[in-house]
Amino acid sequence: MTYSHWSETHASKHSVIMDKLAHLNREEVIEYFRFENMVKKERDFCLLYASNKKCHEIENLNCYWCACPHFRFDDAGLSRHNEKTLYSICSIDSKDGAQFESANALHQDCTACLIPHREKNIRDDFNRSWRTTMEKTSPSLDKINH
Ligand code: SF4
């Protein structure tokens, strides 16, 4: 599955949940998306829920953004670097980000970064539309906004 395909699927899942939560305010929505609630009520939202696992073993993990508005990617490649294709970067160069390198590719490695899972960050840049929040991440996401 390409990242674009994952994004498209995820945007739809997020939208279905948000339609269901139309009566809740921002704080209530953020609370609903806490891991402990989502793993019980929205089993299909994340593959890890089936095994009751978190993507980051931290307290107060919030799944509202799952993906990051600062991520930038292009499945066709952003640029070329010494025979390797760079597929993704962090637009804010988070100190907790890293780069994963394979034989032919360079990818942003967000494994150690908690920015998209912190409620303060979600609250500060809250939008009820996941698509709108993520629209800068890739030119291909722009296409699925319509
Ligand atoms: S390193 Fe952190 S802020 Fe940067 S794209 Fe990854 S999760 Fe987002």
Catalogue the long-range contacts made by 54-60 (C-beta closer than 8 Å, 24 or more residues apart).
55/117, 56/114, 56/117, 58/114, 58/117, 60/34, 60/118, 60/119
Can you tell me whether residue 119 is helix, strand or coil?
helix
Q: How far is the CA of 87 from the centre of ligand 1 (A)?
A: 14
Per-residue pLDDT reduced to its tens digit, 34-65: 999 999 999 999 999 999 999 999 999 999 99
Average pLDDT over residues 66-93: 94
Q: pLDDT band for 140, please (50, 70, 90 cuts).
A: low
Chain Cα centroid distance, residue 18: 16
Give the span between the Cα atoms of 97 and 74, in whole angstroms.
Answer: 18
For a substitution probing ligand 1, which of 55, 72, 108, 137 has the most ligand atoms within 8 Å of its CB? 108
Neighbours of 134 (CB within 10 A): 23
pLDDT tens string 5-43: 899 999 999 999 999 999 999 999 999 999 999 999 999
- Confidence tier at 141 by pLDDT (50, 70, 90): low
Q: Using the predicted structure, report yes or no on whether residue 142 has a pLDDT greater than 80.
A: no
**Residue 23 has what pLDDT?**
98
Identify the pLDDT of residue 1: 77
Ligand 1 mean position, distance from CA 110 (Å): 5
Residues 73, 67: Cα–Cα separation, whole Å: 11
- 62-79: pLDDT as tens digits: 999 999 999 999 989 999
- Enter the pTM of the model: 0.88
